[in-house]
Amino acid sequence: MIWSFFLVLTELINFQPTGKTIYNQKFGQLDNDSPLIKKFISIIPSIEDYDSGNQLIGKIQFIYSGYDDLLFVVCADKNDNAVPIVQAIENMKVAFAQKFFNVIKEGKDDPSLFKPFKTEVDKALSALDQIVLATAPQAAPVTVPTAPEKTTPASATQKEMVKIAFVGAKNAGKRTTLKLLFSGASGSGPQTEESEMMMKKGPISDKYAALLITMPNDMIEAGKTQFLSNTDVVLFVTSSQFKDMMATRKIYDIIKPTLPNARYGVIANKQDASGAVDVEAIRKVYELPIVPMVATDAANYDMLKIFVEELIEGA
Quick one: which of 22, 23, 8, 10 has its CA closest to 118? 23
Q: Which long-range contacts (CB under 8 A, 24 or more apart) does 190-196 make?
A: 190/296, 191/295, 191/296, 193/105, 194/170, 195/68, 195/69, 195/104, 195/105, 196/107
Looking at CATH, the fold of the domain delimited by 154-312 is given as Rossmann fold (3.40.50)
At 240, which amino acid appears? S
The span from the CA of 134 to the CA of 157, in Å, is 37
Domain with CATH 3.40.50.300 in the chain: 154-312
For residue 77, list its beta bridge partners: 60
Burial 176-213 (b: 16+ CB within 10 A, else e): bbbbbbbbeeebbeebeebbebbbbbbbbeeebbbbbb
The span from the CA of 80 to the CA of 78, in Å, is 6
Quick one: which of 134, 135, 13, 9 has its CA closest to 73? 9
Q: Dihedral angle at the C-alpha atoms of 232, 238, 240, 243, nearest 10 degrees?
A: -130
Residue 205: its pLDDT value, please? Answer: 86
Per-residue pLDDT of the chain (315 residues; tens, 9 = 90+): 888 888 998 876 665 677 888 998 888 665 555 677 788 888 888 776 677 788 888 788 889 888 777 899 998 888 888 878 888 898 898 889 888 888 887 778 899 999 999 999 999 888 875 555 655 444 444 443 444 444 333 333 456 888 899 999 988 999 889 989 987 754 444 544 445 567 777 788 888 888 888 888 888 888 877 778 789 999 999 999 999 999 999 999 999 998 999 999 999 999 999 999 999 999 999 999 999 999 999 899 999 999 999 999 986
At 142, which amino acid appears? V
Cβ neighbours around 13 below 10 Å, total: 9
Burial class (CB in 10 A: 0-12, 13-18, 19+), 95: middle
Q: What is the CATH number of domain 2-126?
A: 3.30.450.60
Residue 193: its pLDDT value, please? Answer: 46
The span from the CA of 242 to the CA of 311, in Å, is 25
Domain with CATH 3.30.450.60 in the chain: 2-126
Residue 248: its pLDDT value, please? Answer: 93
Residue 284: its pLDDT value, please? Answer: 93
